[in-house]
Structure formats: structure tokens, C-alpha cells
């Protein structure tokens, strides 16, 4: 990790990107964002922004590749098993951010009868969240096979790749369009600010606290509006 710059990782493109950029911008960190670049140096602060796939952010933060990250709880839970702070976790959730609300849910084709959780027995379930799903199935005592798919999970039942899906739901429009009904929530998610558990130098830590104080200021102003 570089000593002189504070590195912040956010999602390159997706549901959190715009709001992350807006939050940092309102916190007084200015970037000139152009397309297809990974790193952006702030114009006015010793801060470097990393625009990456949200799926990669938990590991980058855990490994100390960046000092701060903004990511959905869903990705954090999937990639490193953290949903709330606990002592052994390699990543700390600094703060919930109050945007990017969605849920990870099981959905079942509307045209097939659904008789409760036992309907999932011996089925294939398409998902981009195989770890969370496998754990859930184990806890519920259901024998089913997660089928890992990285995108467009909602079409899996139609094309015959799986019987059901486990995917993120926000407005529910995607499920609706694909003839699926939501039957069970596995995880409630929102964007969270995270940092590595490992300690930084005194100087770095001081600067991180300064940036965090500004971010908190923006969040406070937003909620008191």
C-alpha cells in the first residue's frame, strides 16, 4: 500500500456508482472521471479512487489494497462472510450508508405450483451468490444444487439452466418481467463503508479519520433534511 495516498475503492458501474461518487464529491474530494480507467487521483486531496467491479471490493479491502471501500452488504457477505462486525472479521463495517437498498431473495417461476420451502428440494437454483445460498440451504436442511451464474440470473429458469433463482431484488421489476415470484428473503442489503482491520501508520490513520469525519458530515446533513 502506498504511504502517501488514501485509496478508496468503489463500484465502477452499477447501482452504487453514482451515489458513491456523489457522496465523495460532497465530502470535498474532487475527481475528473473519464471512461475506462481504474485509478483517478483527486484534484484537491491526497486521495486515489479505484473504480472496480463491486465483487472485487471485499477482497481489496481485506487485503489492504485500499484503505476504504464502499460496497453492498450482499457482496461483503458473499465474498468474505461478513454481514455485521465481529472480532475475527478481516474487514470492519465503518458505517451503513443508507442507499443501495436491496435484498437477496429466492424466486420461483409463477407458472409452477409453490408449496413452501420443500418445493426447493432437489432443484437447481441459479445464483451469483453461491456461498450465501449454500449456507442458507444447509441451515434450512434443504438439498438443492446452486448453479453459479455471473449475470442475467433471472433468465435461468426460462432457458432451462435451473428451476429457480436466488438473486438481488430492488424494485421487483426484473422478477416480474421474467415471470418469477419472490418467496423468501436471505439477506437485507445496503451500501456500507468498509475498511481493513489491519492498522495503518499514525499519519494514514489521522487522514482516514479526517475523511471519515467529512463523509459523516454529509450523511448527517442528508438525514436531517
Report the interface residues with Zn ion, using CB under 5 A: 54-55
Q: Kindly state whether residue 130 participates in binding ligand PRP, applying the rule CB under 6 A.
A: no
Report CA-CA distances (Å) from 214 to 99, 108, 217: 18, 44, 5
Please name which of 182, 219, 177 lies closest in space to residue 26, comparing C-alpha atoms.
219
Q: Could you tell me the smallest distance in angstroms from the CB atom of residue 148 to Zn ion?
A: 13
CB nearer to ligand PRP: give 143 or 177. 177
Return the biggest CA–CA distance within the chain. 60
Considering only residues 5, 14, 81, 212, which one is a binding residue for ligand PRP as defined by CB under 6 A?
14
Q: Could you tell me the smallest distance in angstroms from the CB atom of residue 14 to ligand PRP?
A: 5
Asked if residue 132 lies in contact with residue 77, where contact means CB atoms within 8 angstroms, the answer is yes
Q: Could you tell me the smallest distance in angstroms from the CB atom of residue 38 to Zn ion?
A: 16
CB nearer to Zn ion: give 74 or 119. 74
Considering only residues 113, 141, 151, 160, which one is a binding residue for ligand PRP as defined by CB under 6 A?
151
Which residues does residue 9 pair with via DSSP β-bridges, in sequence order?
50, 69
Residue window 86-115: x/- pattern of binding to ligand PRP, with contact defined by CB under 6 A: ------------------------------
Considering only residues 167, 180, 194, 219, which one is a binding residue for ligand PRP as defined by CB under 6 A?
167
Q: Could you tell me the smallest distance in angstroms from the CB atom of residue 55 to Zn ion?
A: 5
Considering only residues 5, 15, 135, 197, which one is a binding residue for ligand PRP as defined by CB under 6 A?
15
Three cell numbers, residue 55: 465483487
Site for ligand PRP, residues 48 to 87, rule: CB under 6 A: 54
Q: Kindly state whether residue 19 participates in binding ligand PRP, applying the rule CB under 6 A.
A: no
Q: Could you tell me the smallest distance in angstroms from the CB atom of residue 122 to ligand PRP?
A: 25
> Among the candidate windows 59-67, 114-122, 138-146, 147-155, which touches ligand PRP by CB under 6 A?
147-155
Chain residues binding ligand PRP by CB under 6 A are 14-15, 54, 151, 153-154, 167-174
Amino acid at each position: 500500500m502506498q504511504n502517501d495516498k488514501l485509496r478508496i475503492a468503489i463500484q465502477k458501474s452499477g447501482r452504487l456508482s453514482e451515489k458513491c461518487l456523489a457522496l465523495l464529491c460532497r465530502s470535498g474530494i474532487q475527481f475528473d472521471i473519464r471512461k475506462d480507467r481504474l485509478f483517478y487521483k483527486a484534484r484537491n486531496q491526497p486521495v486515489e479512487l479505484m473504480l472496480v467491479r463491486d465483487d472485487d471490493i471485499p477482497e481489496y479491502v481485506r487485503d489492504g489494497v485500499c484503505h476504504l471501500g464502499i460496497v453492498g452488504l450482499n457482496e461483503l457477505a458473499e465474498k468474505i462472510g461478513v454481514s455485521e462486525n465481529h472480532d475475527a472479521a478481516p474487514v470492519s463495517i465503518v458505517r451503513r450508508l443508507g442507499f443501495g437498498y436491496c435484498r437477496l431473495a429466492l424466486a420461483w417461476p409463477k407458472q409452477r405450483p409453490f408449496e413452501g420451502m420443500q418445493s426447493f428440494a432437489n432443484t437447481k437454483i441459479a445464483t451469483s451468490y453461491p456461498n450465501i445460498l449454500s449456507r442458507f440451504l444447509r441451515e434450512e436442511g434443504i438439498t438443492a444444487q446452486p448453479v453459479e451464474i455471473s449475470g442475467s440470473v433471472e433468465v435461468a429458469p426460462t432457458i432451462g439452466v435451473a428451476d429457480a433463482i436466488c438473486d438481488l431484488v430492488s424494485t421487483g421489476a426484473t422478477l416480474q418481467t421474467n415471470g418469477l415470484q419472490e418467496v423468501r428473503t436471505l439477506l437485507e442489503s445496503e451500501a456500507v463503508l468498509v475498511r481493513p482491520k489491519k492498522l495503518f501508520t499514525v499519519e494514514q490513520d489521522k487522514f482516514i479519520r479526517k475523511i471519515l469525519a467529512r463523509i459523516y458530515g454529509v450523511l448527517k446533513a442528508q438525514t436531517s433534511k
